[in-house]
Amino acid sequence: GLSTSSSLNAKIQEVIVIGGGLMGAGIAQVAAQTGHKVTLVDISQQVLDKSNARIAESIKRVAKKQFKDDADGAGKFIDSSLANMNIATTANEALLTADLVLEAVVENMALKQKLFAEYDQIAPAKTIFASNTSSLPISEIASSSSRPDRFGGLHFFNPVPVMKLLEVVRIPETSDETFDAMVAWGKAMKKMTVDCKDTPGFIVNRLLVPYLMEAVRLVERGDASAKDVDLAMKLGAGHPMGPFELADYVGLDTNKFIMDGWSARFPDEPLFRQSEMLNKMVAENKLGKKTGEGFYKY
Ligand code: 3HC
């Protein structure tokens, strides 16, 4: 095995983000904005071009907010952020010096394991590996590498540039040095961090996903309309979005994927039961905002 002396766990400065989707692009953007050297990796150049456009757009919004009447400051912030960003179709070169590799690829266990098994061969001993998975066990992903002591979960929330929380997840093997380095990185990313064990949904999704499903069941029973449930939770509980707006925003396929995984693993847990209504909507490609229709039309 490789040495795990604390001198290996210097500050995280160079970051590789794997996966150019919504989450990966958002994480790479925030890392670049906070002065980290970032490489965003995706096998598809087309996806990377899309991420670049999305990042450029989002950085402008952030700059506008942070530098209201200071066009010069905003320009400098945008330029220096973009200068920290690289894109690549393979991680190989960046892996040689990376402090952290964070994957945000599709929720496919075999793919995640394959990636980390490969990177394990190339990355130096100091490199920490982490997953942004919402619902898969971190331990199972980590088992593909020879460095479970330098492995953990770093779970961000959508939209990453706006949401202030980062869940920092440890598995039993995660060393204290690794955990401390991940927490320190979260602070350097200007997020608030919470510590959590490797349990289904960690904190937020363990509460949020069953809540969204309860909202679907409520409407399925005909107790209220989706529109009224949303209005009720916004005005009665102070939520920024109602459960159906949020489900459409996150994507109904994502919600269903998480529930399917959990109901298979925990068949006796009533909170994780499937919903016919949700299954039907996903089968009809009503996935929410991204396909133009979910519980609402866009
Ligand atoms: N990039 C940069 N800035 C953005 C942005 C983006 N992608 N999206 C929104 N913003 C900024 C806007 O510029 C705006 O700034 P301002 O206040 O200075 O004008 C601010 O955020 C608010 O945006 P909007 O005015 O457009 O819209 P809202 O006020 O309705 O806020 C929202 C949008 C932040 C998405 C808010 O509705 C919200 O917090 N919703 C709940 C989101 C949530 O719960 N996310 C978690 C989902 S679960 C998850 O991610 C886990 C995963 O594993 C499934």
For position 264, what pLDDT does the model report?
Answer: 93
Of the candidates 167, 197, 227, which is a domain's last residue? 197
- How many domains does the chain fold into? 2
ipTM at complex level: 0.94
Contact of 48 with 89, CB cutoff 8 Å: yes
Q: 25 with 102, same domain?
A: yes
For position 9, what pLDDT does the model report?
Answer: 54
Annotated binding site for CoA: 58, 65, 134
Determine, yes or no, domain membership for 287. yes
Output the CA 278–ligand 1 centroid distance in Å: 24
Contact of 178 with 9, CB cutoff 8 Å: yes
Q: 128 with 98, same domain?
A: yes
Which residue among 84, 103, 132, 167 is the active-site one?
167
Nearest protein Cα to ligand 1, atom 38: 240
Nearest protein Cα to ligand 1, atom 24: 162
For position 8, what pLDDT does the model report?
Answer: 52
- CATH code, 79: 3.40.50.720
pTM of the model: 0.94
Give the mutation target among 162, 191, 230 for probing the ligand 1 site: most ligand atoms within 8 A of CB. Answer: 162
Dihedral angle over CA of 130, 134, 140, 141, nearest 10: -40
Q: 50 with 102, same domain?
A: yes
Cβ-based neighbour number of residue 272 at 10 Å: 21
Smallest CA-to-CA distance from 201 within 269, 280, 136 is with 136
Altogether, the residues listed in the chain come to a count of: 298
Q: Mean pLDDT by 10-residue block, N- to C-terminus, for the chain (298 residues)?
A: 50 97 97 98 98 96 94 96 97 97 96 98 97 96 98 97 98 97 98 97 96 96 98 98 97 93 93 93 97 97
Determine, yes or no, domain membership for 132. yes
Q: 180 with 273, same domain?
A: no
**For residue 210, what are the domain limits?**
206-291
Dist. CA 12–CA 184, nearest whole Å = 8
Which residue type, as a one-letter code, is found at position 91? A
For position 95, what pLDDT does the model report?
Answer: 98
Q: 222 with 140, same domain?
A: no
Both tokens of 241, joined, read 């979005």
- CATH code, 257: 1.10.1040.10
Nearest protein Cα to ligand 1, atom 17: 65
